Amino acid sequence: MIKSGVLLGAGAGACWGLVFLIPLVLSGFSPLEIASGRFLVYGSVSLLLLLPFLPRMARGLGIRDIGFLLALGASGNVLFYVFLASSIQKVGVAPAALVIGLVPVLVTILGRNDQGTVPLPQLVLPLAMLVVGMVCITVDTLQVAGSTANTLLDAILGLLFAAGALVSWSFYAVFNARALKANTVVSSQQWAYLTGMASGFWALVLALVIWGFQSPSTAGSTAGGETLDWQMFWLVSLGIGLVGSVLANGLWNGASRRLPMTLTAQVFAFEPLFALIYGFVFEARLPRPLEMAAVLLLISAMLWTVQKHSVAGKRERQQKQALTSPAS
């Protein structure tokens, strides 16, 4: 169960890591435009895939469930990606990815009382390693801002945007996992599609606000007057909507159903790890010393926590076996 959950989480992380490159590939577009394009695709595809099952599921979903899905779509998808894209366009992939790597800290704290979790005191050291990694990347980002064309203000704003993404996704991860474990009406994949439809609703609202108030003379160009490549925009949005949303969220929901909350938090670290790999390849450079230190701390903390959960799970199974074994 744990092994399959970790593998599903790794697959989701590999898909999600790609979304970190999109703000650089579509650098002429604003974070709001990029987020609306991605989630319009996700919402549309989710609706098409879910159409055959909607009548049956509608009977099992109440107003509270719909409101909950809308909240998840806003926090964990649209708002998260607006913050993330803003951060990446300010400071690049590596700093944003490593700040997002702190998701395990927040999720572990928020979900510490959920069933199957390892007691928080046992996770103090790996969580402390993640915090030290965060300090490393903050120092590195501010140092780079002082030695390049990037301003110190851009660096600070970029880190603040990344912190906003961190908070929004942490709340999403906790409440989404709880909902999946409590809901027996829909499958993990169907829940991903329902979340996609909710995200598509917010993306449509966002698109109407963005493009509805633009004049025809400025709708196809950047602030500097450069012509925008809308064909590239929609091709990239289609690709990332399918891979980074439909596929990734389905894999993640499968992992969330199989893993205890504190381990789900650590498995999320696959996303920033893959994002870092993709980012360094895209920028054609090796990590700087403080970036490398942060990466090593992130990997070590994740492996340490997985090991703790494996030991705890084995001990729990042995205790259950002892209780159910017939007395001799």
What does the pLDDT look like over 279-306, one tens digit per residue? 999 989 888 999 899 889 888 887 777 6
Residue with tokens 């803003």: 86
**Among the listed residues 23, 94, 92, 91, the one whose alpha carbon sits nearest the alpha carbon of residue 288:** 94
pLDDT over threshold 80, residue 120: no
The pLDDT score that the predictor gives to residue 173 is 82
The predicted model gives 130-150 an average pLDDT of 77
Q: Specify the higher pLDDT residue, 139 or 121.
A: 139
- pTM for the predicted model, two decimal places: 0.81
The pLDDT score that the predictor gives to residue 319 is 57
The answer for residues whose C-beta is within 8 angstroms of residue 53's C-beta and 6 or more apart is 190
The pLDDT score that the predictor gives to residue 328 is 42
Q: Are 287 and 94 in contact (CB under 8 A)?
A: yes
Domain-by-domain residue ranges, the chain? 2-211+230-312
pLDDT over threshold 60, residue 322: no
The pLDDT score that the predictor gives to residue 226 is 62
**Among the listed residues 20, 26, 21, 38, the one whose alpha carbon sits nearest the alpha carbon of residue 245:** 38
